[in-house]
Structure 1
Amino acid sequence: MIPWVHLASAAVPGEPGTELRLKRRGAEFSIMLGTNELMNSRMGGSEEALARLALARLGDRPEPAVLIGGLGMGFTLRAALAELGPAGVTVAELVPAVVAWAHGPMAEVFQGCLDDPRVRVEETDVCLLIRAAESAWDAILLDVDNGPEGLSRRSNDALYDAAGLAAAFRALRPGGVLSVWSSGPDAGFTRRLRRAGFEVTEEKVRASGKRGARHVVWVAVRPA
């Protein structure tokens, strides 16, 4: 078996002692946090579904404004670009090294999507962009940490608590969509979305093909 090779490490801002590790085995990449695998280049099906499910709910809006929280390995971004035509996408990525890895060792995974003129990458906390906006976005796609039950950064909880969801509701235009990826179900989060005023559906999606792990995508619509 081909061994894993450690390529790089990166500190998680605001979390002393916490770091991400980029590993490669042949053509396969993995981003690890301790013993937990956050991302794998062979399993992007649920991240792609995050974009497709959300954008399908927007219908025929001309050039919708889309915000993606978390660059990851680019699966959500590429799926969004395939659906959006000329519309632009803003990606907020907290860890600058993840952007550097996308241009460097993982360039083959990203397939040039960061060079697409429709893409703007901001190295910042997506929370800040959400809180600064009011009726600014048609879709907010969150693939941050491991979902509502975070692993890498305690402050990520501010995206998913009642105040964070209220901020997302305000940041969306009427009829806009908040879509959230998670490694597993969370009934409490579903209830919080509804209490925040969203119309919610919960989708179970495969990480890869028909046999991959089951992940969860919430599609939460701000009523028109």
Structure 2
Amino acid sequence: MEVAAAVIPGEREPMRLMQQGEAFTICVGPLELMNSGSCVSEAALADLACARLRDRPQPRVLIGGLGMGFTLRAALAALGPDARIVVAELVPAVVAWARGPLAHLFAGILDDPRVEVREADVKRVIQQAPSGYDAILLDVDNGPAGLTRGENDRLYDRWGLKRARYALRPGGILGVWSGGPDRRFKARLRNAGFAVEEVRVPVDGAGRRRHVLWLATHTGADGHAWAWPASG
């Protein structure tokens, strides 16, 4: 049953919130982007990245994509009271769903004083904050091999990764969720100046299938000694 639908900027297919019994899914056309019964890898993205921030005072984290809130919830659980988390969500309706039909999944986490939700393209939020974050967590589309929005590819191309590195403090973490492996993307991360760890996480109830997480560390102390990449 369709509960609600929303326009994705620049795309023809709407995003739909579907419900079957107590389960919810978010789809674009025939493609399922996420469902309320599968959250292990989304939570692991925050768990693994935030574990590396425990010794940092007042850590600042950017999450790209609100989804059903699994990454945000895990980040809040992993970080202390002095943390600040910015969530960038492109589709305003997704934020409305979080306070409406999906409110039981969010259980008030959007009202946590550590959280700021921006209805904005995460690319622009990244560009606005040089050395602004200790971690950037991207769970946008289906990862580097996007399914729904060609514009999302610019997050994961060479310039997108350089922008992300520019927005991180030295030693900061770029965490990327993906529906599957991608050797070329892993190589791009390394070429952009990151030390890369790849983690494969079992998909809930999907047998041997695995989601992939990349944890890319900004290793350079002076990684900003180059011009800001031009938009395009």
TM-score with structure 2 setting the length: 0.91
What does residue 164 of structure 2 align with?
168
Aligned-residue sequence identity (percent) comes to: 61
Which of 175, 180, 184 matches 1:179? 175
Q: Give the secondary-structure state (helix, strand or coil) at the position aligned to 2:163.
A: helix
How much has 1:211 moved relative to structure 2?
4.2
What does residue 44 of structure 1 align with?
39
The within-5 A match list for 1:89-128 is: 89-128=85-124
Asked if 1:83 corresponds to 2:89, the answer is no
Asked if 1:188 corresponds to 2:184, the answer is yes
Higher relative contact order (CA 8 A, sep 6+): 1
The within-5 A match list for 1:11-22 is: 11-15=7-11, 17-22=12-17
The separation in 2 between residues aligned to 1:219 and 1:209, in whole angstroms, is 24
The separation in 2 between residues aligned to 1:212 and 1:33, in whole angstroms, is 25
The separation in 1 between residues aligned to 2:22 and 2:106, in whole angstroms, is 13
How much has 1:18 moved relative to structure 2?
2.1
> Aligned pair in 2 of structure 1 residues 212, 12: CA closer, same or farther (>3 Å)?
farther
The separation in 1 between residues aligned to 2:33 and 2:93, in whole angstroms, is 15
TM-score with structure 1 setting the length: 0.95
Q: Which amino acid aligns with 1:73?
A: M
What does residue 35 of structure 1 align with?
30
> Aligned pair in 2 of structure 1 residues 167, 40: CA closer, same or farther (>3 Å)?
same
RMSD of the alignment, in Å?
Answer: 1.3
What does residue 224 of structure 2 align with?
none
The separation in 1 between residues aligned to 2:108 and 2:54, in whole angstroms, is 27
Gaps of 5+ in 1: none
The separation in 2 between residues aligned to 1:211 and 1:203, in whole angstroms, is 17
The separation in 2 between residues aligned to 1:140 and 1:49, in whole angstroms, is 14
Using the TM superposition, name which of 180-189 and 210-219 deviates more.
Answer: 210-219
- Equivalent residues, number: 219
The separation in 1 between residues aligned to 2:72 and 2:31, in whole angstroms, is 23
> 1:28-49 CA deviation, whole Å, 9 max, x = no partner?
1000111111010000000000
What does residue 55 of structure 1 align with?
50
Q: Tell whether the 8 Å contact from 2:39 to 2:204 is kept in structure 1 after alignment.
A: yes
